[in-house]
Each structure stands twice: as C-alpha cells, then as structure tokens.
Structure 1
Amino acid sequence: MKKLMILAFIFTGLGVSAQNTSFGLKGGLNYGATGEYQSVGDLTSDVASSFEDGENKTGFHAGLFAQFELLGIFIQPEILYTELNTEYSAFDYKLSKIDAPVLVGLNVLGPLNIKAGPSFQYILKNELENTQLTIGDVEKDITVGYQLGAGLDLGKLGFDVRYEGAFSENTAFGLGETAEENFSVDSRPSQWIFSVSYAL
C-alpha cells in the first residue's frame, strides 16, 4: 500500500509539472516465446538431459497507460494484463502476468517517438496445456525485464511496436510420471509487442 501511495504522489507531481498529461487505454497482440525447455534426464541411467527452444505463438495484452511530457521528453508508466503462449514438443506453455513498464520516450519527428525502459512483471499463473505433465510455480513471482521500441501518435490514437526481453532466468520445474520425464521451463519472455492506444 505504501508503495502504491508513493507511486501515486510521484505521478501526481509529474502531472502538475508536465506540459502535457494524458491517460488512456491500450491493448494489442504480442508474438514471441518463453525461454528454454530442459528435460532433466535420469542421473541413475544413461538418459541425458536435452534442451529445446519454444516455438513463437501469439498472445495478447490489455490495460491502462499514463503519459507525462515535458520539452519533448515523456515518461510513460503502464499497467497491463498479458498472456504469453509458447509451443514445445511435449506441451503448450501458457504464462499470465501483470506488466508494469515505465518507459522514457523522445518525440523525434512529428508524430513519431522512440521509447525504452524497465518492465516490472508479476507472474499470475503458469500452466501446461495438451499434456498430462504438471508444473510448479516459477522461482520468482516478480522479475524485471526491459522494453524498447517506437510509436506513432495520431491525435488520440497511438500505435506502438516494441521488443521485450528479460535480464535473468526465472525457472519453473515440472514433474512427469518417471524421473526421465522431469523437466524445467525458463519463463523469461522474449517477444514483440504490437499495441493500439486511445487517450481519454
């Protein structure tokens, strides 16, 4: 609660001092995958561990944004619900999270801008589909990644394309019926984000 109050005071202060302040809705599609899948293998036999990169799939995101602009530079905090899907040979992996990127941007040419900054992520749920295997919770509920990209503002409408990555692994461990089926998945996202926003 204290952290939320501090953020509210910061945003209020930015809004008072900024030349232009806007708030709005945004949503869109994301295309990418989580990190590497690793089968653990069996230490008591000759069954070795194996590694596999996931296949990119489409997910979605939706949420709110604010933008505080001063002298052509702006700060844009957001809060978004995101679903990221990845296909592995053994199963489909679905990750649900709350994203809170805080981007610093620059208006470079007319309606065109560039932006980058950290993205704080809170993992809500990770689950497997199309399999009898089970998976546990990720190691860390909250992680920090990054986003960078470009945007186009046309009146109240905005269009964004960004790349999102992560700084460190965040592993979830899974169990099969036998030791050879035990595995881990790196839930770290690597994805392209395509968004449409509307300023209220």
Structure 2
Amino acid sequence: MKKVILVMCLAFAFSQTSNAQIDFGVKGGINYNNNGDATFSSTGGDVIKGGESKSGFHAGLWFRGKIPIVGLYLRPELVYTQVKNEYTNTQNVTSDYEFKKIDVPVLIGKKFLGVANAFIGPSFQYILEDDFEFNDVTTDDFDKFSVGLQMGVGIELGRVGVDVRWERGLSNTEAKFVNGLTVDNRTNQIIFGLSLKL
C-alpha cells in the first residue's frame, strides 16, 4: 500500500510539471540525524554540539516545475543518503550503526524576495543497506519503507542554491525486541544542501 502511495505521488508530481518548463539539476550536502526524537530543537542542539556520531551525506537529482496556483512550484527529488542511527540495548548502552537509503521528497514551494524560497512536503524513504546486527537480530525485522515530512527554506543565486531543511519520520517504525533491544529508524534530521541547476 505504501509503495502504491509513492507511485501515485510521483505520477501526480510529473503530471503537474509535464506541461510546464522543468528545471533540473544535481544536489548534495550534509545530514545530521537524531533518530526517534521528534523535536527540531534537540536535533539542532546535536548539530551545534558537533553531532559527528550521527552525521552523514546525501547526493542526488532534483526537478522543478511551476504549478498554476498562486506561483507555487513542485520539486520532486531522487536522493541517495548515507547516515548513522543508533540502538539501545538491555544495559542502556547506546551504539551507532550506519545505513544507506533512497529518499524521494515531493516538495511544494514558493519563491519570494526574488532569491528566497520556502517548501514543505512528504519524503518517501527506503533503506537499501545497513550494518546493524545484534545477536540474531537484523533490520529485516522491521519495515524498511517509511514516510517522512520535510520543510525548509533556501536561497538561489543564479544556478547555485543553498537550503536547510528539517525532516521528521511519520511512520511508526520503532522496533522493540523481546531481548530488550530498542531500534528506532524514524529519521529526525537537519539537512544542509547545495544544488546546481543544469
């Protein structure tokens, strides 16, 4: 069902931009993940303190087309992300593990002040690979597909754009196992991005 929703959103995104001029380009940047914690301030605090243990990166493609409604635009993206997560065992010891995923944000935005923009929209994610292993438990024990929400602001100067966004996982993908191991792979990230229009 979740995959059907993803396909429908992508189809809607491209149908809305099919009759308009489409901008596209490449993007990349740094991610700071504070999984499971639902607040922006906690993730921001982690970034300010350094957040090295939960940092990662992303790279991908973006597309943008105008929507004929009060100057809005639609921006679907296809992004490869590598970031760290954590789990807590029975002794209340927290350990990190790394995972790689495909993100497909479908953002609605609006430009203002000539160079600035603000945007919001769902982000569909699928974990491709991870190095999580604890006893006989792997991440195959919980759903690797999840849905999140992204929102942010950015500026564009010519062909170069810079943005900062907050992403929060909406799916209930926390897993609690009988041996006391708790894993929460819902993302809670601050993402710094640099984009180039081609």
TM-score range, shorter chain: 0.7 to 0.9
Q: Distance in 2 between matches of 1:141 and 1:195?
A: 24
The runs of 4+ residues in structure 1 deviating greater than 6 Å are 2-6
The question of 1:96 aligning with 2:93 is answered no
- Displacement of 1:169: 2.5
Residue in 1 that maps onto 2:40: none
What amino acid does structure 1 have at the position aligned with 2:60? G
Unpaired segments ≥5 residues, structure 2: 38-45, 88-92
Match of 1:112 among 100, 116, 129: 116
Structure 1 or 2: more strand by fraction = 1
1:191 aligns with 2:195: no
Q: Secondary structure at the match of 1:137?
A: helix
Q: State how many pairs are aligned.
A: 174
Structure 1 SS opposite 2:171: coil
Contact 2:17 2:64 in 1 (8 A): no
Q: Alpha-carbon deviation of 1:121?
A: 0.8
Higher helix share: 2
1:30-69 mapped onto 2 (5 Å cutoff)? 30-35=31-36, 56=51, 57-69=54-66
Structure 1: where are the runs of 5+ without partners? 37-54
User: Match for 1:146: what amino acid?
Assistant: L
Q: CA deviation at 1:157?
A: 0.7
**1:121 is aligned with what amino acid?**
Q
Shift of 1:148: 0.2
Helix, strand or coil at the partner of 2:167: strand
- Partners of 1:15 and 1:148 lie apart in 2 by 24
TM-score (norm 1): 0.74
Specify the alignment match of 1:77 in structure 2: 76
Determine whether 1:128 maps to 2:132: yes
- What root-mean-square deviation, in Å, do the aligned CA atoms of Structure 1 and Structure 2 show? 3.0
Identity %: 42
The separation in 1 between residues aligned to 2:125 and 2:33, in whole angstroms, is 16
* Alignment match of 1:148 (pick from 135, 151, 159): 151
Equivalent residue, structure 1, for 2:43: none
Q: Please say which structure displays the higher CA radius of gyration.
A: 1
